[in-house]
Amino acid sequence: MHRMAANHDAALEHGARLRAGGLALGGGILVLVAKLAAWRLTGSTAVLSDALESFVNVAAGAILLYSLYLSAQPADRNHPYGHGKVEFFSAGVEGTLIAVAAVLIAFAAVKQLMKGVELRSIDLGLVLVTAATAANAALGWHLMRVGRRVHSLALVADGRHLLTDVVTSVGVIVGLALVWITGLSILDPIVALLVAAQILRTGWQLARQAISGLMDEANPDALEGMVNALETQREPCWIDAHSLRSWRSGAVEHVDLHMVVPRFFDADRLHEIDEQVEMALLSATRRPGEAITHFDPCRPRHCPGCSMASCGVRAAPFTRPRPFTLDRATRSDETLDTGKPVARVKAGE
């Protein structure tokens, strides 16, 4: 039943993702047009740098919309875990595009410094850039809010990029205002270079986050939450747990766990425990997903930490509970009788 509810929630979240992605693309096009108009009016390199970043926003918005559509496609024979990883690709491509834009901005600023600066119609340009910046701010906050609600890295990354664009746009506005007030046109390319440095930093952060997702980098906070949920909802027959692992495919969480249970339990009891453990793990992630539990039969060495009231195979009395902790739950697989770590088989052996 809980899986049916999760599937229904996932369908609703998919619709929210697509609407937010379409809004990001449409809003990005309007902002780009406004900034290009401001650049044509002023001839400002700083405004051009802002427009180039908005061009990246449009390109990223198109990639985002496609990735959101593809990530929601069901698993198939070629993609048994679904297509959610494409969202990490989207964030990585966006980070790369931002870095390219930063290089182009820096090149244009240096060229203007060498040739000299000539600005015009700064007042009207300021109005256009300010209006575009306000629109970007509203859109960025909306994308981040929706992205966090529906667990979409791509939407959060795009929203964070737009908010960074707002910060750089504010810098451009301040720079233009100073040029307008002081008449020092040399400030314009200097502001553009500062904008390029900030954009490059944002691009690196997005690329780093995408690489982390593609490489299935562990999330200690998420694992800690799962361990706490297991300990809070723990049953006496949940004797021990280890080999806890988790990775994301888009908005979907995949979890693996080894659980030690009494060796005399039948398949019906194990199925019941499997559902309880899955609900505990996924409730901690607060996102749709699946949890696969591998059951290990208990051995005499587990008896001192097992609080089962009635047990026909107990070899030693219960002495003290062994709480689930992050270190214990994430330790590697171990042999049943001795508890020694199982050696990993290397490729080619």
The answer to whether residue 348 sits within a structural domain is no
Helix/strand/coil (H/E/C) assignment for every residue in the chain: CHHHHHHHHHHHHHHHHHHHHHHHHHHHHHHHHHHHHHHHHHCCHHHHHHHHHHHHHHHHHHHHHHHHHHHCCCCCCCCCCCCCCHHHHHHHHHHHHHHHHHHHHHHHHHHHHHHCCCCCCHHHHHHHHHHHHHHHHHHHHHHHHHHHHCCCHHHHHHHHHHHHHHHHHHHHHHHHHHHHHHCCCCHHHHHHHHHHHHHHHHHHHHHHHHHHHHCCCCCHHHHHHHHHHHHHCCCCCCCEEEEEEEEEECCEEEEEEEEEECCCCCHHHHHHHHHHHHHHHHHHHCCCEEEEEEEEECCHHHHHHCCCCCCCCCCCCCCCCCCCCHHHHCCCCECCCCCCECCCCCCCC
**Do both 178 and 315 map to the same domain?**
no
**Do both 207 and 107 map to the same domain?**
yes
The answer to whether residue 337 sits within a structural domain is no
**Do both 187 and 261 map to the same domain?**
no
Q: CA geometry: angle at 36 spanning 167 and 25, to 5°? A: 70
**Residue 96 identity:** T
Strand partners of residue 256:
245, 292
The answer to whether residue 163 sits within a structural domain is yes
Phi, psi of 149 (to 5 degrees): -70, -35
The answer to whether residue 77 sits within a structural domain is yes
**Do both 48 and 188 map to the same domain?**
yes
pLDDT at 149: 79
The answer to whether residue 92 sits within a structural domain is yes
How many C-beta atoms lie closer than 10 Å to residue 320's C-beta? Answer: 8
pLDDT at 91: 72
pLDDT tens, residue order, the chain (349 aa): 444 444 444 555 667 777 887 888 888 888 888 888 888 887 777 777 778 777 777 877 787 777 777 766 777 777 766 766 777 777 777 777 777 777 877 877 787 777 766 666 677 777 888 888 898 888 888 888 888 777 676 677 778 778 877 877 887 787 778 777 877 777 777 777 877 787 787 778 777 777 777 766 778 888 999 999 999 999 999 999 999 998 877 667 889 999 999 999 999 999 999 999 999 999 888 777 889 999 999 999 999 999 888 888 898 999 988 899 999 999 988 888 888 887 665 545 5
- Number of structural domains found in the chain: 2
**Do both 202 and 58 map to the same domain?**
yes
CATH code of the domain in which 182 resides: 1.20.1510.10
**Do both 191 and 224 map to the same domain?**
no
Whole-Å CA distances, 12 to 6, 19, 263, 309, 319 = 10, 11, 41, 44, 49
Where a domain ends, among 160, 195, 214?
214
Q: Residue 281 belongs to what domain range?
A: 220-329
The answer to whether residue 36 sits within a structural domain is yes
286 closest CA partner among 100, 45, 13: 13
CATH code of the domain in which 289 resides: 3.30.70.1350
**Do both 38 and 133 map to the same domain?**
yes
Where a domain ends, among 214, 241, 274?
214
**Do both 129 and 240 map to the same domain?**
no
Q: Which residues contact 248 (CB under 8 A, 6 or more apart)?
A: 84, 153, 213, 254
pLDDT at 142: 87
**Do both 234 and 114 map to the same domain?**
no
The answer to whether residue 347 sits within a structural domain is no
**Do both 246 and 179 map to the same domain?**
no
Alpha-carbon distance of 60 to 93, in angstroms, equals: 8
Whole-Å CA distances, 38 to 134, 176, 231 = 15, 11, 59
**Do both 307 and 289 map to the same domain?**
yes
The answer to whether residue 342 sits within a structural domain is no
**Do both 246 and 166 map to the same domain?**
no
Q: CA geometry: angle at 21 spanning 20 and 25, to 5°? A: 115
213 closest CA partner among 256, 157, 153, 287: 153
pLDDT at 289: 82
pLDDT at 9: 47
